[in-house]
Structure 1
Amino acid sequence: MAWTKRTGGTGRGQEGDQPGVAGTGPAGAERPSWAPPVLRGDRLEAGLRTLEFDVRGRLDGLLQGNHLGLVPGPGSEPGEARPYQPGDDVRRMDWAVTARTTTPHIRETIADRELETWIVADVSASLDFGTAFCEKRDLVVCAAAAITHLTLGGGNRIGALVSNGAETVRVPARGGQAHARNLIRTIAQMPRAEEGTAGDLSLLVDQLRRPPRRRGLAVVVSDFLGDTAWQRPLRGLSARHDLIGVEVLDPRDVDLPEVGDIVLADPETGRQREVHASALLRKEFAAAAQQHRSEVARALRQAGAGHLVLRTDSDWIADVVRFVVARKRGWSGAAS
């Protein structure tokens, strides 16, 4: 059972914030520059514009110029030359540069093939929670914005399946910046499910699996809390697509604070339990949370999926960059 913290007066809002106001962080903490913008109410449109600027500016800057996206594979457009390394394809040897430098060089190519990407966005009730500088739901929107930026272009298309547990919205796969903005806005505007409404990630993944779609990239964004029935459809999805699992976490998903008596609530079933946060309980809670996270990592690994972890108290763009760089190193065979 996945329990989330709820204290009197704050509901699903931030720890130390006013009810329903997200983004100010814990009481007394200064909001860092990397924190996601507020993506609700009358601040939604401004927040989406800020998010787009952040993703374009910081992601391109940290990745140092043009990048090949999240999928491997050569293209036909010539890129930069680099020194030959053992294991490189000798057919890509750049003899002109090799002659000038007297050192073997190969010519990189820029991937230009058409790619179809699908995002499975879980915004069920357990995502409407956050005790740091945003809610987990906000990170789902941020992850979708980053994936869109890294995959869109060159005739690529992107679509999404978004579910809050009560309803599911399908955004058809299309190309273009206008469509990308509409997709991200659709995820951000997905209504919050009523407390007691359970999400079904396995059904959501299965909807993407059937009917079969053209081979491409599938990205599942969720906190992966609750049952593990999603593992089997996820393995089926990976048999046809490149797969990435984005796990969204809050500090209170992995440990309890030393605050005395608290009420723990499961937002997807409505069950509540009042407990005393003793040292023993906090230790057992942390151990159970760590075990669950290990099971999620193992399930994604067995499915052949990349595993990206985003936290509400961490620089999410820097985490995305580290993931992309490590993924590319894995494709090239370079040492990590």
Structure 2
Amino acid sequence: MARGVWMSPGFPPAGSAFDDARAELVLRRLQLLITRKLDGLLQGDYLGLLPGPGTEAGESREYRPGDDVRRMDWPVTARTLVPHVRRTVADRELETWLAVDLSASLDFGTACCLKRDLAVAAAAAITHLTVRGGNRIGAVVGTGDTRVRLPARTGRKEANGLLRQIAGTPAKAGRDDLGALVDLLNRPPRRRGMAVVISDFLAPVESWARPMRKLAVRHDVLAVEVLDPRELDLPDVGVIAFVEPETGQMHEVQTADRRLRERYAAAAATQRAAIAGAIRGAGAAHLRLRTDSDWMLDIVRFVAAQRHARTRGTTR
């Protein structure tokens, strides 16, 4: 069995659909995993997966290379003649919005689960880790040409209802507009909070890069990229029939052709580099989850790296 995405704690086998009973079972097991394991590993004076600086003023400390110059404490700097920056305290009430892409391209997986399952797990992790303390969480969900807004509410009961609606969203044929989905988080304008975009980001980069940059001007943004190993390279297994899930087009590919596999891997690497570059250019944090990897461990490593960067005074 491939190391992985916790098949036993609740993911349905790759290729099966989320019916109501199975979705309820999966979400309950995910809640136990997240609250018992992730919550225990990620305890601290942070809200959610991004250890953001907050907005409430705190104490000052000496400036270190990499600190955000916008946080310079000029009165203390003038008095001491030594550059100081103002620390900030994590906000006690955080509003988090999820943009969850559940287009047909996420109904694909060749390892421990579908990419759709992984997107639901990521949404569950963010929800359960941010909903405490009176925080509000809402979502916009896109599938095909349909986009649904789920209003932000407080409380675990409402958060569980939000996750049930996300998990129960039926897949639809057609290509989703990721840029339009992200742009729903920009309207109406809200106070500074956390925005999370969960997608495989296979839509053209130019369609969503600008809305992502606009979103990051006002909010701390986290991009959760879900992918399958077969999107990075092809195995040598002879002729494979591929069906494009969003259009239904079928192509037969001879994977025994070494040059074809090399071209595919090179094109996939270029595509992923462009996605990572656009996310980085927007000023968003980037979490990559794979269907053949331990998603909980990946989240813990991501948060540890973010906290380490904050401790050193860098912005990302």
Q: Does 1:47 align with 2:36?
A: no
| Distance in structure 2 (CA, Å) of the matches to 1:66 and 1:255 | 39
Q: Does 1:305 align with 2:278?
A: no
TM-score by length of 2: 0.82
Q: 1:73 aligns with which of 48, 53, 61?
A: 53
| Distance in structure 2 (CA, Å) of the matches to 1:114 and 1:288 | 43
Return closer, same or farther for 1:173/1:203 CA change in 2, 3 Å cut-off.
Answer: same
Count of residues in correspondence between the two structures: 282
The corresponding residue for 2:6 is: 34
Q: Does 1:257 align with 2:229?
A: no
Q: Which region of structure 1 is more displaced relative to structure 2, 141-150 or 120-129?
A: 141-150
- 1:222-241 matches, within 5 Å, as 222-228=199-205, 229-241=207-219
Q: Which region of structure 1 is more displaced relative to structure 2, 207-216 or 235-244?
A: 207-216
| Distance in structure 2 (CA, Å) of the matches to 1:154 and 1:135 | 32
Question: What SS is found at the alignment partner of 1:158?
Answer: strand
Report the CA distance between 1:112 and its aligned residue: 4.7
**Is the Cα–Cα contact under 8 Å of residues 198 and 226 in structure 2 kept in the other structure?**
yes
- 1:194-233 matches, within 5 Å, as 194=173, 197-228=174-205, 229-233=207-211
Report the CA distance between 1:157 and its aligned residue: 0.6
| Distance in structure 1 (CA, Å) of the matches to 2:3 and 2:221 | 33
Q: Does 1:131 align with 2:110?
A: yes
Gaps of 5+ in 2: 13-17, 74-86
| Distance in structure 1 (CA, Å) of the matches to 2:167 and 2:153 | 19
Report the CA distance between 1:309 and its aligned residue: 0.1
Q: Does 1:246 align with 2:218?
A: no
TM-score by length of 1: 0.77
**Is the Cα–Cα contact under 8 Å of residues 102 and 143 in structure 2 kept in the other structure?**
yes
Gaps of 5+ in 1: 1-28, 79-83, 92-107
- 1:1-336 matches, within 5 Å, as 29=1, 34-35=6-7, 37-38=10-11, 40-41=18-19, 42-63=21-42, 65-69=43-47, 70-73=50-53, 111-194=90-173, 197-228=174-205, 229-277=207-255, 278-333=257-312
Identity of aligned pairs, percent? 51
| Distance in structure 1 (CA, Å) of the matches to 2:180 and 2:296 | 29
Question: What SS is found at the alignment partner of 1:313?
Answer: coil
| Distance in structure 1 (CA, Å) of the matches to 2:4 and 2:183 | 38
Residues 99-146 of structure 1 show CA distances to partners (whole Å, capped at 9, x for unaligned) of xxxxxxxxx997352111100000000000101111000111111111
C-alpha RMSD over aligned residues: 2.7
